[in-house]
């Protein structure tokens, strides 16, 4: 049977475990609307189902849990002038992110391999977040002229020091040790032990203590490169503006600081400026739902008023020429009023309204 003929989300219950598997391995389990709707409907059903007292999320294949959302489809919707479809996707996705965070039963996410963008929205808000030595976590939205969403700004805002600004602006990839240190994961379990962990959940004697089961397989992460880089990251990324961050990076002696400045100078000025403000504003928000609401306004502003998002998707994922033509092209050309306009934008369809 081909992948196309199989369900894109596998759902089953066994031994008190409701098991969800994202099943698009060729696409590293990238999320589409149908998958989001299946996940949401299944969680609704399992909340009332006595056969599922714990939910386990993982991904098919060995490449990753989830590479993100269907941004190619997003670009097509924007080009086609269909903002209502874009709004429908994000509303469904963000409702699922909040549902996972608020789920009344233990929710365990196995973020093995690539877990980025929309994958963080699934795994990052779970009650128990497991990574492995193969894990690669990131919020890479600025690479396509966009801004972190799916509750990513909430996680970034609560990372130690100025790591949130660093990770959000650069889209840097975290390994397992970095993810645990930055607050994107809770436990490191070697990938060779994941099957044993799944079996332990199904055969456990005490269904109320899944964390204790994870600890049986947990290993202490090695040193975090992010922790080791805190001195220059905190110094540079505490600056008030993206331009000042770059200037501080250029003044640092560490080679990694200079490389980071090069990275920022190649990204969309609008996306960077809005992302910096979004992470800092998220620090003052009361909860994840408030952060999701802020993100929803921003992503709809990008999708309906800004050319950089479609251009970034074209350059990085469609034509793959890696030569986006940002508008404006430089930070010096960016009107500071654009930031206020982004946060003042009101989508035509509110986030939490009923369909």
Is 338 part of a structural domain of the chain? yes
The share of the chain scoring above pLDDT 90, in percent, equals 89
Residue 262 half-sphere exposure toward CB, CA atoms < 13 A: 5
166 part of a folded domain:
yes
pLDDT in tens, 163-200: 999 999 999 999 999 999 999 999 999 999 999 999 99
Domain hosting residue 140, numbered range: 9-344
Question: CA angle, 273 as apex, 268 and 275 as ends, to 5°?
Answer: 95
In a domain, 350, yes or no: no
In-domain check, residue 4? no
Q: Catalytic site residue 295?
A: no
Question: What is the total residue count of the chain?
Answer: 355
Within a domain: 2: no
* 120 CB-side CA count, 13 A: 26
What's the pLDDT tens digit per position in 265-302?
Answer: 999 999 999 999 999 999 999 999 999 999 999 999 99
Predicted local confidence at residue 1, as pLDDT: 41
Active-site choice (69, 145, 151, 171): 69
Instruction: Write down the pLDDT at residue 4.
Output: 52
Q: Which of 70, 93, 112, 149 is catalytic?
A: 149
Residue 209 has what pLDDT?
84
Is 141 a catalytic site residue? yes
Tens of pLDDT, residues 115-128: 999 999 999 999 99
- State the catalytic residue, choosing from 58, 141, 186, 235: 141
Proportion of the chain above pLDDT 70, given as a percent: 97
Q: Tell me if residue 149 is catalytic.
A: yes
- Residue closest to 86 by CA, chosen among 74, 70, 98, 68: 74
Tokens standing for residue 69: 């959302």
d(CA 150, CA 140): 12
Three-state secondary-structure class, residue 122: helix
Q: Which of 68, 113, 118, 297 is catalytic?
A: 118
What CA–CA distance (Å, rounded) separates 323 from 314? 9
Task: Find the mean pLDDT for residues 217-230.
Answer: 96
φ, ψ of residue 168 in degrees (nearest 5)? -70, -40
Report how many domains make up the chain. 1
> How far is Cα 124 from Cα 333, in angstroms, rounded to an integer?
35
User: Does position 205 have pLDDT exceeding 80, yes or no?
Assistant: no
3 within some domain? no
Q: What is the dihedral of CA 306, 271, 97, 68, to 10 degrees?
A: 90
Verify whether residue 81 is a known catalytic residue: no
The answer as to whether 1 is a domain residue is no
Over residues 64-109, the pLDDT tens digits come to 999 999 888 888 888 888 888 999 999 999 999 999 999 999 999 9
User: CB–CB of 342/276 below 8 Å?
Assistant: no
Backbone angles phi, psi at 49, to 5 degrees: -95, 120
CATH, residue 240: 3.90.226.10
- When pLDDT is cut at 50, 70 and 90, the band that residue 3 belongs to is very low
**Does residue 146 fall inside a structural domain?**
yes
């Amino acid at each position: 049977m081909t992948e196309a003929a199989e369900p894109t989300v596998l759902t089953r219950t066994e031994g008190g475990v409701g098991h969800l598997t994202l099943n698009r391995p060729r696409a590293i389990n990238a999320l589409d609307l149908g998958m989001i709707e299946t996940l949401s409907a299944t969680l609704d059903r399992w909340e009332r189902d006595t056969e599922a007292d714990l939910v386990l999320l993982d991904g098919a294949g060995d490449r990753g849990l989830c590479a993100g959302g269907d941004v190619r489809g997003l670009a097509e919707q924007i080009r086609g002038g269909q903002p209502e479809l874009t709004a429908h996707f994000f509303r469904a996705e963000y409702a699922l992110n909040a549902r996972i965070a608020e789920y009344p039963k233990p929710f365990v996410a196995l973020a093995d391999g690539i877990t980025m963008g929309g994958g963080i929205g699934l795994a990052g808000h779970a009650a128990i977040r497991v990574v492995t030595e193969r894990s690669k976590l990131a919020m890479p939205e600025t690479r396509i002229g966009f801004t972190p969403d799916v509750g990513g700004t909430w996680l970034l805002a609560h990372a130690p020091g100025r790591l949130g600004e660093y990770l959000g602006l650069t889209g840097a990839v975290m390994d397992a040790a970095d993810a645990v240190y930055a607050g994107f994961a809770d436990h490191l379990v070697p990938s060779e032990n994941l099957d044993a962990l799944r079996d332990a959940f199904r055969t456990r004697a005490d269904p109320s203590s899944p964390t204790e089961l994870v600890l049986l397989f947990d290993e202490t992460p090695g040193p975090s490169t992010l922790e080791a880089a805190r001195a220059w990251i905190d110094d540079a990324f505490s600056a008030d503006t993206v331009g000042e961050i770059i200037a501080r990076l250029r003044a640092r002696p560490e080679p990694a600081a200079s490389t980071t400045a090069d990275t920022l100078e190649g990204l969309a000025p609008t996306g960077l400026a809005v992302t910096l403000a979004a992470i800092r504003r998220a620090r003052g928000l009361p909860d994840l739902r408030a952060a999701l609401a802020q993100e929803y306004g921003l992503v709809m502003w990008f999708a309906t008023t800004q050319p950089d998002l479609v251009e970034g998707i074209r350059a990085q994922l469609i034509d793959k020429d890696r030569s986006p033509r940002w508008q404006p092209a430089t930070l010096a050309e960016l009107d500071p009023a654009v930031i206020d306009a982004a946060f003042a934008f009101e989508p035509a369809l509110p986030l939490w309204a009923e369909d």
